[in-house]
Amino acid sequence: MVEETVFRIENLRKSFGSIQVLDGIDLELRAGTVTILMGANGAGKSTLVRIISGVYARTSGSISLDGREFSPASPAEAIRAGVVTVHQNINDGVVADLDVATNLTLDRLNGRGARAIFNPRRVRREAAVVAERMGLQIDLGATVADLPLAERQMVAIARAMAHEPKVLILDEPTSSLSSVEAERLFEVIDRLRARGVAILYISHRMSDIRRLADIIVTLRDGRISGVFDGPELDYGGAVNAMLGQKISLGNVVTREASAPVLQIENLCIAPGSRPFSLTLGDGEIVAVTGLVGVGKTAFAETLFGVRRPISGSMRLDGRPYAPCTTGQAINQGVFLVAKDRADSGIVPDFNIYENISLPFLKRSSFFSVSNRRRERNRARAQIASLGVVCRTERDEMDTLSGGNQQKVMVARWLSEASRMLILDEPFQGVDIAARRDIGSKLRASADGRATLVFLTEIDEAFEIADRIVVMSEHTLVGEHRNADVNIDKLLAEIAGQHRMVI
pLDDT band at 319 (very low <50, low <70, confident <90, very high): very high
Taking a C-beta distance cutoff of 8 angstroms, is the pair 30, 5 a contact? yes
Could you tell me the sign of the dihedral formed by the alpha carbons of 126, 130, 133, 139, in that order? Answer: negative
Non-local CB neighbours of 183 within 8 Å, separated by 6+ positions: none
pTM above 0.75, yes or no: no
Ordered by start, the domain boundaries in the chain are: 5-243, 247-333+418-501, 346-416
Q: How far is CA 6 from CA 67, 70, 165, 197, in A?
A: 7, 11, 11, 9
Q: Round the average pLDDT of the chain to a whole number and report it.
A: 85
SS3 57: coil
476: β partners: 471
**pLDDT given for residue 343 in this prediction:** 58
**Averaged pLDDT for residues 318-347:** 86
Residue 471, pLDDT score: 94
Asked whether residue 498 carries a pLDDT value surpassing 60, the answer given is no
Higher-confidence residue of 150 and 378: namely 378
Residue 208 has pLDDT above 70, yes or no: yes
What pLDDT, in 10s, does the model give residues 67-82? 999 999 998 899 889 9
**Nearest to 472, CA basis, from 186, 156, 103, 208:** 208
pLDDT tier at 495, thresholds 50, 70, 90: confident
**Which of 168, 155, 223 has the alpha carbon at shortest distance from 196?**
168
CATH superfamily of 247-333+418-501: P-loop containing nucleotide triphosphate hydrolases (3.40.50.300)
Looking at the DSSP bridge assignments, the partners of residue 288 are 454, 469
Of 42, 63, 40, the residue nearest 51 (C-alpha): 63
pLDDT exceeds cutoff 60 at 339: yes
The pLDDT tens digits for 361-420 are: 565 555 444 567 777 888 888 888 888 888 888 888 878 877 788 888 888 888 889 999
User: Around Cβ 367, how many Cβ atoms within 10 Å?
Assistant: 4
User: What class, spelled out in words, does domain 5-243 have in CATH?
Assistant: alpha beta
H runs (alpha helix) in 274-370: 296-303, 326-331, 341-344, 352-357
63 pLDDT more than 80:
yes
Q: What percent of the chain has pLDDT over 90?
A: 40
Question: What pLDDT score does 116 carry?
Answer: 45
pLDDT at 172: 83
| pLDDT at residue 371 in the model | 66
Q: What is the pLDDT of residues 287-317, one digit of tens each?
A: 999 887 789 999 999 999 999 999 999 999 9
Q: Are 156 and 95 in contact (CB under 8 A)?
A: no
Least confident of 16-30, 333-347, 371-385: 333-347
Mean pLDDT on 430-441: 80
User: In the predicted model, is pLDDT for residue 106 greater than 90?
Assistant: no
- Decide: helix, strand or coil at residue 171: strand
What confidence score (pLDDT) does residue 500 get? 44
Task: Give pLDDT, residue 237.
Answer: 83
pLDDT at 323 over 70: yes
Please say if the pLDDT value at position 225 is more than 70: yes
Helix, strand, coil in percent for the chain, rounding step 5: 35, 25, 40
How many whole angstroms separate alpha carbon 124 and alpha carbon 100?
9
Smallest Cα–Cα separation from 350: which of 391, 389, 405, 397? 397
What is residue 57's predicted lDDT score, i.e. its pLDDT? 93
Do the first three CATH levels of 5-243 and 247-333+418-501 match, i.e. the same topology?
yes
Q: Where is average pLDDT lowest: 18-27, 272-281, 337-346? A: 337-346
User: Between 422 and 249, whose confidence is greater?
Assistant: 422
Q: Indicate the pLDDT class of residue 242, thresholds 50, 70 and 90.
A: confident
Mean pLDDT value across residues 244-272: 81
